[in-house]
Chain A
Amino acid sequence: EAGVAQSPRYKIIEKRQSVAFWCNPISGHATLYWYQQILGQGPKLLIQFQNNGVVDDSQLPKDRFSAERLKGVDSTLKIQPAKLEDSAVYLCASSLIKAPGGYTFGSGTRLTVV
């Protein structure tokens, strides 16, 4: 089966600019996650969708980050405006609803804010 697709792979922007990341999950996976992985740390959950509804966005900095999942399939994560501390790898993952940790991670988008 095809994996979780993410784009772009790399992005460099200046602080205060906007950026958007795209994710296409595995077909049939109802649950989609966005994680932020800062260099030297483990990934941290930003937001979890089930179909097109938000399950958990308690860790999402809502003053600058937003995410949507149109029609319960693809998802976009946006940062506006970006700060230097947003430099990280943004990982998308998808899973079946009833699969303990049965995730598939995408390769991620590496964001550098200068």
Chain B
Amino acid sequence: GNSVTQMEGPVTLSEEAFLTINCTYTATGYPSLFWYVQYPGEGLQLLLKATKADDKGSNKGFEATYRKETTSFHLEKGSVQVSDSAVYFCALTPFPTGNQFYFGTGTSLTVIP
């Protein structure tokens, strides 16, 4: 079946610290992988995606590389800001066999000045 496992939070970092949020997946076929972000009181926003092995998704200083050999899609950022405080969700779709999302449980990040 399809599933996503994320590192549990909450995560608290000081401003300018390095961020890693681990994500591993189980999927049939060759899924597309995503990171979504949810700011307090807001909806889900696509942060980045990768649709095939070895692809790197990047946006707003965040990066994640699709690693088929380790079935992972870890999120990284070199220097976090207070404005990055949010909940981060890793997700996959088994496209083209299906296009529904399978989400992880989310990781809450708080960045302190």
List chain A residues, Cβ under 8 A from B82.
Answer: none
- Asked if residues B44 and A48 are in contact (CB atoms below 8 Å), the reply is no
Q: Which residue of B lies closest to A4 (CB)?
A: B43
Contact of A101 among B42, B43, B95 (CB under 8 A): B95
Q: Which residues of B contact A14 (CB under 8 A)?
A: none
When the two chains form their complex, are residues B43 and A105 in contact, meaning their CB atoms are under 8 A apart?
yes
CB of A44 closer than 8 Å to a CB of B: yes
Given contacts A101-B93, A108-B43, contact A42 B103 (CB under 8 A): yes
| In contact, A41 and B95 (Cβ under 8 angstroms) | no
Number of CB contacts from chain A to chain B under 8 A = 55
Chain A residues, Cβ within 8 Å of B77: none
Min CB distance, B11 to chain A, in Å? Answer: 15
Dominant SS at the A interface?
Answer: loop
> Is A95 interfacial (CB 8 A cutoff)?
yes
At the interface, yes or no: B73 with Cβ under 8 Å from chain A? no
Specify which of A31, A40, A44, A108 is in contact with B99 (CB 8 Å cutoff): A31
Considering residues A43, A95, A101, A107, which has the most beta carbons from chain B within 10 angstroms of its beta carbon?
A101
Return B54 CB to nearest CB of chain A, in Å: 16
Asked whether, in the complex, the Cβ of A42 is within 8 Å of the Cβ of B100, the reply is: no
In the assembled complex, the CB of A36 is this many whole angstroms from the nearest CB of chain B, namely: 11
For residue B32, CB closer than 8 A to chain A, the reply is yes
Question: Is B91 engaged at the interface, CB distance under 8 Å to the other chain?
Answer: yes
- Bound Cα distance from A20 to B4, whole angstroms: 30
